[in-house]
A and B are shown apart, each in its own frame.
Chain A
Amino acid sequence: MNIALVLEQLLNGVQLGVMLFTMASGLTLVFGVMGLINLSHGSLYMMGAFICAYVAGITGSFWIGLLAGALGAGVMGAIIELVVIRRLYDRDHLDQVLATFALILIFSEGTSWIFGASPLWLDMPDLLSGSVSLPGGVTYPLYRLMIIGVGIVIAIGLYLLISRTRIGMRIRAGENDREMIGALGVNISALYTFVFAVGAVLAGLAGSLLGVLQSVQVGMGEPMLILAFVVIVIGGIGSIKGALVGALLVGVVDTLGRIFLPGLFSLVLDNADATSVGSALASMLIYLLMAVVLAVKPKGLFPANA
């Protein structure tokens, strides 16, 4: 167990965390501003990946695909906001859960109807294939490094959007007092559509970026959705900062747990048992983390509106 390997695994954790943040920030923004639980966020992620793969397949350019994936998911998000989601803001969480659960079914089956049951092909652009050497003796895939970079840019961009722009001011106002901002003459429904579309663009971007590393198939959004929920709950729902910290925490804990728990158990158990017990515990680890965080801080690490 050398230092370079630990560093590399840490980097892997950060990379997973950064992508989770991209997913989770949209989710947490939508909840913070509109008070909506959106289970179909994972479907937007999937749409992003499918559109990206499809367009990249036609044009032969990953970059056009990436753009199409992010924008396509954004357009899709805006459409479902206009048609379905805006009827749910005044409803309780239960109705929101049911309606967005129904959207998952529609999106998943609709996608396999249109694109067929086979996973789509989406490959890395040549520009970003290969690895780079980092200080500390780590060689790391360039593409994953780029993902980390994109995540950082998104985090900074969101920070600037929310704290420095007029729209950001309205978003913050909306988080604090929904009626008041409407009364002040802000076009609240346009604001909501915008926020929802931004979340969708981020989900589509995450889907397109990870589609390169994953299987672009129906149902790919659900594991990400559950992880993103774990992230925002740990971080404090509605808080972008919380989503960032939560995402990094989940990414690192999950990655390191998967690798080091079986080894840890082999100190006390024989090899086969250690592998199975360790792996079983590793797959439960982030949920354990979430339960512990909520047991100590029932509103997450960074409660919004505190």
Chain B
Amino acid sequence: MRKLTRESWINSSLVLLLALAPLCASLLDEPYYVNLASRVVIIAMAAVGLNLALGFGGLISFGHAAFFGLGGYVAGVAAYHAFDGSYFIGVIPGSDQMPVIWLVAVLVAGLAATFIGVISLRTQGVYFIMITLAFAQMIYYFAISFPTYGGEDGLSIYVRNSLFSLDTSDPLIFFGICFFSLMLSIFVTRRIMGSRFGAALTMARLNDIRLATSGVEPFPIRLTTFVLSAMITSGAGALFADLNGFVSPSMLSWHHSGELMVIVILGGVGRLFGPVAGAVVFVLLETFIGGFTQHWQFFLGLILLSVVLFANGGLIGLLAGRPRHD
């Protein structure tokens, strides 16, 4: 399509690194690092979802943890009912098949996002930030106080859900599943942004009056983007539940929404691979500074602050320079 820019070089090396690191770890018999890589990849995927709304659509959602958690809870609740053979609200059986869970997770999040979007997208700017936060808080408090699925204690998934005949409990195979999902979500984002729809979305972000005068209503475009974005994040949530073997309301908390935003911004807003870079750095920081000092959050804060003050455009921006369309 076009010749490789510096940014695509960076992106390719990032992906290569992300794929090779767990392979090496697996050869060295260090399953911990394989699982850590899965964690990075899943969080990256959640952030890819957020980036679609936030970076490409300019919709600053402070409530994406809600979709992440919804996906997680679909996986958890499905496995719970499959485990003890009971039924969700008395009629729907559980399932321990990943494809079924993913489909349901994506649909549930899509429905929720449609409902939230229809109300929230009437507002703009700070109001949008805050109303998405409000909806996430509602779901959070509901999850904490609703006892059937464990409330604040969360819900355990005793046996990792299965995908066809693969041994999903093998760290490397599970990593493969997550990695594939991440690549798929990046590919989907790329296709969306390369389409006429993507062009309209960019226009809606930059100048929605101009878009409206060319006969395209911005509202449905934004709503579709918001819903798609929620669906990707929800898929990541379902994987996250399987990785951890449990779900809990903390997946829905506003801190988590904040962290997802931090990851997107850290990596580079509106860059296709920004969330991946952000997730790598964030998870590694969290893991390794935590080993050095009890006050690691202090240093995490300092690092984040320096990135936003001095590295405008995030890590990818820092390495690759300004994007050409700006």
Inside 8 A of B301's CB, which chain A residues have their CB?
Answer: 102-106, 109
Are A226 and B308 in contact (CB-based, < 8 A)?
Answer: no
> Total contacts A to B, CB within 8 angstroms?
127
Q: Tell me if B8 is interfacial: C-beta within 8 Å of chain A.
A: no
Inside 8 A of B305's CB, which chain A residues have their CB?
Answer: 84, 99, 102-103, 106
Are A98 and B308 in contact (CB-based, < 8 A)?
Answer: yes
Could you mark each residue 64-107 of chain B with 1 if its beta carbon is under 8 Å from any beta carbon of chain A, else 0?
00000000000000000000000000000000000000000000
Question: Which of the residues B131, B134, B308 comes within 8 Å of A102, measured between beta carbons?
Answer: B308
Q: What is the CB-to-nearest-CB distance from B115 to chain A, in angstroms, rounded to a whole number?
A: 10
Are B262 and A280 in contact (CB-based, < 8 A)?
Answer: no
Are B269 and A299 in contact (CB-based, < 8 A)?
Answer: no
Are A237 and B127 in contact (CB-based, < 8 A)?
Answer: yes
Q: What is the CB-to-nearest-CB distance from A288 to chain B, in angstroms, rounded to a whole number?
A: 7
Inside 8 A of B302's CB, which chain A residues have their CB?
Answer: 102, 106
Report B125-151 residues with CB < 8 Å from chain A CB: 125-127, 129-131, 133-135, 137-138, 141-142, 144-147
Report A286-306 residues with CB < 8 Å from chain B CB: 287-288, 290-291, 294-295, 298-300
Report how many residues on chain B are interfacial, defined by Cβ distance under 8 Å: 46
Question: Which of the residues A97, A279, A291 comes within 8 Å of B131, measured between beta carbons?
Answer: A291
Are A105 and B297 in contact (CB-based, < 8 A)?
Answer: yes
Report how many residues on chain A are interfacial, defined by Cβ distance under 8 Å: 41
Question: Which of the residues A99, A102, A288 comes within 8 Å of B138, measured between beta carbons?
Answer: A288
Q: Tell me if B295 is interfacial: C-beta within 8 Å of chain A.
A: yes
Inside 8 A of A108's CB, which chain B residues have their CB?
Answer: 297
Please, how many angstroms separate the alpha-carbon atoms of A109 and B305 in the complex?
14
Please, how many angstroms separate the alpha-carbon atoms of A94 and B262 in the complex?
9
Inside 8 A of B308's CB, which chain A residues have their CB?
Answer: 91, 95, 98-99, 102
Are B135 and A287 in contact (CB-based, < 8 A)?
Answer: yes
Inside 8 A of A101's CB, which chain B residues have their CB?
Answer: 258, 261-262, 304
| Supplied contacts A84-B309, A87-B309, A112-B295, 13 more A-B pairs, CB within 8 Å | A93-B126, A94-B54, A94-B265, A95-B308, A95-B312, A98-B261, A109-B298, A237-B127, A287-B137, A294-B119, A294-B123, A295-B119, A298-B122
Q: Which residues of A contact B (CB under 8 A)?
A: 31, 37, 84, 87, 91, 93-95, 97-99, 101-106, 108-110, 112-113, 226, 229-230, 233, 237, 276, 279-280, 283-284, 287-288, 290-291, 294-295, 298-300
What are 26 A-B contacts defined by CB distance under 8 Å?
A84-B305, A93-B60, A94-B60, A94-B269, A98-B307, A101-B262, A102-B301, A103-B301, A105-B298, A106-B302, A106-B305, A109-B296, A109-B301, A110-B298, A113-B295, A229-B130, A229-B133, A230-B130, A233-B126, A279-B145, A280-B146, A283-B145, A287-B141, A294-B123, A295-B119, A299-B127
